[in-house]
Structures are given as structure tokens and as C-alpha cells.
Amino acid sequence: MKQMTGAQLIVRLLERQGVRTIAGIPGGAILPLYDALSGSDVIRHVLARHEQGAGFMAQGMARVSGRPEVCFASSGPGATNLVTAIADAMLDSIPMVAITGQVPLPMIGTDAFQEVDIYGITVPITKHNFLVRSATELLEVIPEAFRLAMSGRPGPVLVDVPKDVQNQLIEIETLPEPAEPDPAPVLDLAAIERAAEMINAAERPVLYLGGGVIHSGASQQAVTLAEQASLPTTMTLMGLGALPLDHPLSIGMLGMHAARYTNFVLEEADLLICVGARFDDRAIGKAAQFCPNANIIHIDVDPSELHKIKTAHVAINGDVAKVLDALLPQVKVKLRDAWLAQVDGLRNRYPMEMPARDDPRSHYGLIHAVASALDDEAIITTDVGQHQMWVAQAYPFRRPRQWLTSGGLGTMGFGMPAAVGAALAAPERTVVCFSGDGSLLMNIQELATLAEEGLNVKIVLMNNNSLGLVYQQQNLFYGKRVFASKYRGAPNFLRIAEGFGIAAVDLDAAANPAETLAQALSAPGPCLIHASIDREQFVFPMVPPGAANTEMIGG
């Protein structure tokens, strides 16, 4: 029998769950938990400078480790500052446990100082959430939060803990076992057999891989399936890295900013095998006109994704790695010479155009130069905007979890704190964050955290002194009425970085930018690498809003 406080119990349970790093910011309502955390020998706390930064650090760790990671915030403004990072985790299915302090139970509902109903606020943006009413409940709630975050389709869980519950003393006989993910859904063998028959009978099949392949660790199976059945393979923004981009069967990313040939190949398909993807509007364009001639096999761990946007001919609910394992022995080896030749023909006729790819002062050239200076061990994060799409188009992703980006929510400010989280989870790797000047300013304060931790994070700032993607839309779709998208001031990012104690290099001033870049990337520790980008460069090709994927403009 052991006596401890609710706060000490939380820390014990987190330790037993394998949590080793927590990002957060303390405040009145969570001080008992911080006091307990200060006594932990195994958990390291990383002090963020804004709770959104802490949330994205936890996400960065989780996107690299694949396990639920934790962030802490106090009640009221601390908790509301986490909201964007939680919503982002929800839309990209990232396992995360957010723990917030709350005013004491008797004060809930009295509009107490820093009282906010974070439980109510996070109902629509979490897989599940808890308001804990006694220290005893923690014995169930904490493991349950981890179980939910990592079972099936992963996602964020919030646990709101009133201050008096943190202070409450309880007697504990035995601690609960750390949570394990639920067993995967039972395999639907009949559906898997039908899927294999359809793949074997198809003449022009295409494999369509999403983030679910990354989450379930199914890349190897996906590559084997592609090779065994000679399937041209496209990936969503979240699925990049599932198949190496330079694999002969890769046809690159699909959708709004795909290469033309990719969308044309999909148009020709007679069978679409969708694995761990969800027919998102940015990926498929006008749903009714997407893959008009194809039967659909849809494999997903979340049953509510099946038939949601497109009715599948065979829908298989299951963990995609397990389903593919069962499917593979039934899929015949095929060469599909004619179909692959047709794909090659389209690729040659409508390739991905990357003008000035060899000039590191251009956008594609800069991305290319970064890729040339790194190996596949590096982790790449981005913010949101043109730079994000250019990196998605141009960077040769070759392994799962190499690429971290805010896909579903598209949150500016994601990139740098997520890179900090990635570096915390994988300190031996180089982490590169491609950012825009708009996005970087959204969480610039985390440079202080980065400097303090001295992590190996390089920020490649593609500075067009504007909200480039907005500027692009206004030019293309709003009669060139450019409004609120060009900055009039121009902060000196080099001095900002230096002010935070972070090394900075300016590629604009470099005689040999590729060499300066390579040096900056290979020096240990944080660095900001600044490069001006021509504001008139747009992301092409582009599927205009509401159009079918084959109606691309530009490129």
C-alpha cells in the first residue's frame, strides 16, 4: 500500500507508459503536476514558449516515434492555446495525450479565474476527452487515454485534471498495467479474397497510398504489393515516403498539385486500390469525376471512412498492414507491360516540370540542393503554403516518417515546433524545417526553445515576403486583386535568429549558395538558413477549386 497524490500518480503512470519527454508550460492550475514531474528521474520536460508550440512538439515526437506523446498546459489560456495543435493531430490522426490543469472541482462552473471549459471545447477535436473527478479515476483514465490515442485510427485525447484532484491523496495497492493498443479488427477473409481476384483481373490498376500506411507501419507490404502486381502507385500528401519517390512504380503525389501525368494515369485506371487514404477533396478533386472508370477497393482501419466519399466495390475494415499481409499471397505476379508502358507514355508527355531545378536560388533548386546535401536519414518538416507544396512535389522522400507536414488542418506555424519535437524523438538525425516567412512568424518564439535545447534543427526559410499561397490564389482566381497578402515590412530574420542565439546564414549573400547550404546543414546544432524566393513563382500544376483533377492549369 502506497500513498501518493493524484499528480504523483499521473507522473508514475506516464513513466510506466514509456513517456520520456513532455513539452509544456506550467501555470497555477497545473503546478501540483509540475511539482510531481520535477521529482521524476526518467521524464524530461521541455519548456515551450507557447502552448501551441508544446502541442506541435508532442506531435513532432509522435509523428517520428509512432507512439502517443504528451504535452502539458495550465487551465484557461494555457489550455485554449493547445486547441490548434490538438485539432491538427485529430485531422492527421496523430496519437497524442494532452493533459491540462483545471480549476478545483468546487470552483468549476463559477467562472473562476482561468476557468475555461476545455472539455467542452475539445469534444469535436479529440478522439475522446476526460474531465477527471477524483484521483482514483486517474487509475483508469490515464491508461485509457493512451489506449484510445493509439488504437485503431490514432488521434489526440485530452485529460483535464482539476487542481484539487492533482493534490488529492490516495492509497494505491497496485498500479494498472501500461495501456496496449486494442487488437486489430478481425480480418475479413472473404473480402480480401475478392480484392485479390479484382487485382488479378484488372488491366489498369493503380495503388493509392495514404497516411494510414505510415501509421500502421505497412510501407513494406505496400511496396511488395506494388512490385508483385506491377501497380503504378500514387501517394497522398500524408502518404509520401510509403514508396520511395524514385521507385520505378511511383507516380508521385496525386491531387491538387500533382504532376499532370499522375492525374491522367488515375483517369485511365480500371481499378483503384485505396490503402489507408480517405478520398480527401485536395487529393481527388471533384469526387464524381475522380477515377471515372475504376472499380474501387478500399482498405481502412476506420469503418466510417469506407463508402464515405466514394462507394467501394470491396471495402475492407482492418489494420492495413495485416490486411496486406493476408492479401499478398493471393495476388498474382504480373508484369503488366502494356499498362506500365502506357503510364510511361503519359509520364513522358506530361512530366512534373521543375524549372530551374539546378539553380539553388530558385524554389525547386533550393529544395533539390537541400536533398542533395542530406541522406534519407534526415527528417523533413514543413509549414503551410507554397513552400510546403513545392517540397511535397520535389523532395525525394524515400522512407516512412521522413516527412512531417500538417495535411488535414494545414496549420501555419506547425513546422518549426514539430521539427523540435522530431529532434527530441530522434536526436541523432538532422531535422530540416522548410518554412515560409508568414508561417515562421506564427511560432517564432519556439526559436528560444530550440536554442535552449541546442537541437540539430535547420530552418530553411523560403522568404517571398508575402503570404505566398494567398497571393497566388488572388492572382489566379480573384482577378489579381491582391489584398492583405503582401507584407509591407520585412523583418530581418537573420538578426531575429541571432537574437535568439541561433546561427544564421543568408544564401542570398553567398557566392556559392549550394556550398554554403551544405556547410550549414552539416554543422551540428540549430541554424536558420535564409533564402529569398521570387514572389511571382506559383505552385503549378494546380487543379482550380471545384474542378476535376484532370482540369489542371499551369505546369
Ligand X SMILES: Cc1ncc(C[n+]2csc(CCOP(=O)(O)OP(=O)(O)O)c2C)c(N)n1
How far is 170 from 135, CA to CA, in rounded Å? 7
Q: How far is the CB of 303 from other proteins (least distance, A)?
A: 6
Residues 6+ away with beta carbon under 8 Å from 267: 291, 292, 293, 549, 550
Q: Which of residues 469-498 bind ligand X (CB under 6 A)?
A: 469-470
Binding track, positions 518-547, relative to other proteins; x by CB under 8 A: ---------------------------xx-
Binding track, positions 69-108, relative to other proteins; x by CB under 8 A: ----------------------------------------
Q: Residue 154 is placed in which grid cell? A: 490514432
What's phi and psi for 410, nearest 5 deg? 60, 60
The tally of CA atoms less than 13 A away on the side-chain side of residue 196 is 18
Q: Which of residues 307-346 bind other proteins (CB under 8 A)?
A: 307-308
The smaller minimum CB distance to other proteins, of residues 123 and 341, is found at: 123
Q: How far is the CB of 255 from other proteins (least distance, A)?
A: 13
DSSP state letter for 387: H
- Cα–Cα distances (Å) from 67 to 58, 180, 217, 420, in that order, read 10, 11, 12, 17
- Which residue has 520511395 as its cell numbers? 244
Would you say 240 and 382 are in contact if contact means Cβ atoms under 8 Å apart?
Answer: no
**Which of the stretches 253-261, 268-276, 284-292, 467-475 binds ligand X when contact is defined by CB under 6 A?**
467-475
How far is 266 from 182, CA to CA, in rounded Å? 35
How far is 521 from 424, CA to CA, in rounded Å? 18
Q: How far is the CB of 378 from other proteins (least distance, A)?
A: 28
**Which of the stretches 61-69, 91-99, 117-125, 292-300 binds other proteins when contact is defined by CB under 8 A?**
117-125
Q: Residue 397 is placed in which grid cell? A: 522522400
Amino acid making up residue 289? Q
The tally of CA atoms less than 13 A away on the side-chain side of residue 425 is 28
How far is 31 from 73, CA to CA, in rounded Å? 10
Rule CB under 6 A: choose which of 122, 443, 464, 549 binds ligand X. Answer: 464
**Which entry of other proteins, ligand X, none binds 436, CB below 5 to 8 A by partner kind?**
ligand X
384 in contact with ligand X (CB under 6 A)? yes
65 in contact with ligand X (CB under 6 A)? no
The smaller minimum CB distance to ligand X, of residues 241 and 407, is found at: 407
Rule CB under 8 A: choose which of 164, 302, 325, 353 binds other proteins. Answer: 302
Amino acid making up residue 179? A
Binding track, positions 330-369, relative to ligand X; x by CB under 6 A: ----------------------------------------
Amino acid making up residue 121? I
387 in contact with ligand X (CB under 6 A)? yes
**Which entry of ligand X, other proteins, none binds 254, CB below 5 to 8 A by partner kind?**
none
Would you say 429 and 65 are in contact if contact means Cβ atoms under 8 Å apart?
Answer: no
Binding track, positions 392-431, relative to other proteins; x by CB under 8 A: ------------------x---------------------
Q: How far is the CB of 105 from other proteins (least distance, A)?
A: 12
What is the secondary structure of 513-550 as a DSSP string? HHHHHHHHHHSSS-EEEEEE--TT----SBPPTT-BTT
140 in contact with other proteins (CB under 8 A)? no
Would you say 267 and 291 are in contact if contact means Cβ atoms under 8 Å apart?
Answer: yes
Q: How far is the CB of 153 from other proteins (least distance, A)?
A: 9
477 in contact with other proteins (CB under 8 A)? yes
How far is 166 from 452, CA to CA, in rounded Å? 29
Q: Which helix (H) or strand (E) holds 138?
A: helix 135-150
**Which of the stretches 52-60, 206-214, 304-312, 320-328 binds other proteins when contact is defined by CB under 8 A?**
304-312
**Which entry of ligand X, other proteins, none binds 12, CB below 5 to 8 A by partner kind?**
none
Interstrand relation of 169-172 and 2-5 (parallel, antiparallel or unpaired): antiparallel
Q: Is the dihedral of CA 339, 345, 348, 352 positive or negative?
A: negative
**Which of the stretches 32-40, 120-128, 364-372, 413-421 binds other proteins when contact is defined by CB under 8 A?**
120-128
**Which of the stretches 99-107, 225-233, 467-475, 519-527 binds other proteins when contact is defined by CB under 8 A?**
467-475
Q: How far is the CB of 128 from other proteins (least distance, A)?
A: 4
Choose among 68, 53, 212, 67: nearest CA to 145.
68
Q: Which residues bind ligand X (CB under 6 A)?
A: 383-387, 410-413, 436-439, 462, 464, 466-470
Q: Which residues bind other proteins (CB under 8 A)?
A: 119-120, 123-124, 127-129, 131, 148, 281, 302-304, 307-308, 410, 469-470, 473, 477, 545-546
